[in-house]
Structure 1
């Protein structure tokens, strides 16, 4: 007999199987989606105030569909529990790969950077600035020793680029070392800040060393990517590529074609399945009872209640609250 799932379905849809991670917003679980009949990743919001709830609102609003982006495809609420659902990515993160392998081969890094810039081009085209590009937020499919497949995730601090005037908040938003100088100084979000972080990530993958908290990127070994990485990590934003598409053009001119395989190194980095089998098989014949998702959103009163909660918490920074209400009402 199969083990019994630990708790009833959340909102009649998501059956939590096992915890696979944790972060600032709460815990991440592998869960069985009764509607789609497959395992997904579910982020369960921890004890939350209005500010954390607004971050959740911001993240669930990002609906970018791209092979190298992992964005929420549904959300649910059940009493005081609020969850985000997204694709389950089994190979860990670039951070975990670095911890296992150390510095990565230059051709491997070129493929990763190519995919990351493609992801950022799609995110920026949707009017979103990620603001927290770093190895821990770049997830990997379990491809073994084959070509890597990277997916950009965690949009909890993302911002709408068109709402620059609404997103001024005291202090910097992002992770020390990966923030562009103007971002660390508290300037409004701009796509160029994500490009800076992408350059820092590539430098870290090549060198095996993280950036310093003061914002000094690692020094890369010599190679064809150095001119592009110097441009991406320029302290003056006017010296960076004008867009992710422009950065991809520079990558092509450096001799990295789209979809290029990597060949460096006697032994390739191996992206293993870090999750293993779930603790119980898929529930047979299970069907959803009720759901809250993009197809079946909550009522207007509930949406505005969430938005006003953000407004009450942010006080003088009313722009972010207005943005949160906009995202909910859309």
Structure 2
């Protein structure tokens, strides 16, 4: 854009100034945005050209109100013309899927810590009367903790549903992600917290082997094996029944301290030249040129008028 021109980000619903796209999914794109009302950066999921079914799912997601350090739940939404946006906290460290793709299997301490944080998140979600139904590495977001221990945040509540709500039974189809769904969930059973625990078992097995569900076989010899085997029981009546029970078992296991890979800031600063004060964004080099011109004019006046310091 030519120097000296104002560059304004798109502002949705008179509130969210979209700065840069940071992700995409089946329901739309995810943007870093400036919330002009709260005056802070947020993540905004943008849904355009929405059909009724997708919009219903979108609205269901924004209704989630779980406040927990290991959960990223929506905290606001807005609509304007053919756009619907959903706002939530901005998490800067990518996801567990990114960590596994870049580093392969995680050490036992790091896998155990992430598992504990996931179970804490699920305990909060289930206590709120909800089943997440799509627990997988891509939905386990990470704060940018650098060399410090990782901090997991369970996100994406687009297919969450009330516990045992038969309105969300999907026979002959199923809601979730192939490979992570419990057998009864894949058959269309009503939402049940034990389905999330099965998915957690698949995720932990992926963390310790580096293998996605399609390539997973038997649980290998590992400090987390006793927990994984109890989570992956096919019969839900024999599976661990609650996140609390899973946490108690996990905390009895002899796990080493985490020594896993660092979690960098994957977003970086907002786009150069975009002001985050809320009205728009300015091309900063243009301001530099204006400031230089003002300095020259003031200098000339100083000489011509005989000003003294």
Within a 5 Å distance, the mapping from 1:42-191 to structure 2 comes to 42-162=44-164, 164-170=165-171, 171-191=173-193
Larger mean Cα displacement after TM superposition, 5-14 or 138-147: 5-14
**Distance apart, 1:79 and its partner CA:** 1.2
Task: Answer whether contact 2:219 2:229 (CA < 8 A) is retained.
Answer: no
Rg bigger for which structure? 2
1:284 alignment partner in structure 2: 277
Partner Cα separation in structure 2 for residue 217 and residue 174 of structure 1: 18
**Distance apart, 1:4 and its partner CA:** 4.6
Task: Answer whether contact 1:137 1:152 (CA < 8 A) is retained.
Answer: yes
Task: Answer whether contact 1:129 1:191 (CA < 8 A) is retained.
Answer: yes
Judged with a 3 Å threshold, the aligned counterparts in structure 2 of structure 1 residues 228 and 44 are, in CA distance, closer, same or farther, namely same
Q: Tell me if 1:262 matches 2:263.
A: no
Partner Cα separation in structure 2 for residue 272 and residue 24 of structure 1: 25
**Distance apart, 1:262 and its partner CA:** 2.8
| TM-score normalised by L of structure 2 | 0.85
2:198 alignment partner in structure 1: 196
**Distance apart, 1:242 and its partner CA:** 1.4
Task: Answer whether contact 2:19 2:274 (CA < 8 A) is retained.
Answer: no
Partner Cα separation in structure 2 for residue 6 and residue 130 of structure 1: 37
Judged with a 3 Å threshold, the aligned counterparts in structure 2 of structure 1 residues 2 and 97 are, in CA distance, closer, same or farther, namely farther
Judged with a 3 Å threshold, the aligned counterparts in structure 2 of structure 1 residues 18 and 79 are, in CA distance, closer, same or farther, namely same
**Distance apart, 1:117 and its partner CA:** 0.2
Task: Answer whether contact 2:70 2:120 (CA < 8 A) is retained.
Answer: yes
**Distance apart, 1:7 and its partner CA:** 3.4
**Distance apart, 1:169 and its partner CA:** 2.2
**Distance apart, 1:233 and its partner CA:** 0.7
Partner Cα separation in structure 1 for residue 59 and residue 116 of structure 2: 29
Secondary structure of 1:120 counterpart: helix
Partner Cα separation in structure 2 for residue 160 and residue 3 of structure 1: 50
| TM-score normalised by L of structure 1 | 0.79
Judged with a 3 Å threshold, the aligned counterparts in structure 2 of structure 1 residues 110 and 12 are, in CA distance, closer, same or farther, namely same
Secondary structure of 1:15 counterpart: strand
Partner Cα separation in structure 1 for residue 279 and residue 257 of structure 2: 43
Q: Tell me if 1:273 matches 2:265.
A: yes
Partner Cα separation in structure 2 for residue 273 and residue 3 of structure 1: 31
1:36 alignment partner in structure 2: 38
Partner Cα separation in structure 1 for residue 75 and residue 217 of structure 2: 35
After superposition, what is the alpha-carbon deviation per residue over 1:217-266, rounded to whole angstroms, capped at 9, x for unaligned?
4544422210110000111111211100111111112146xxxx8345xx
Q: How many residues are aligned here?
A: 276
Partner Cα separation in structure 1 for residue 218 and residue 31 of structure 2: 37
Partner Cα separation in structure 2 for residue 184 and residue 175 of structure 1: 9
1:306 alignment partner in structure 2: none
* Structure 2 segments unaligned to the other structure (5+ residues): 281-309
**Distance apart, 1:47 and its partner CA:** 2.2
**Distance apart, 1:36 and its partner CA:** 1.2
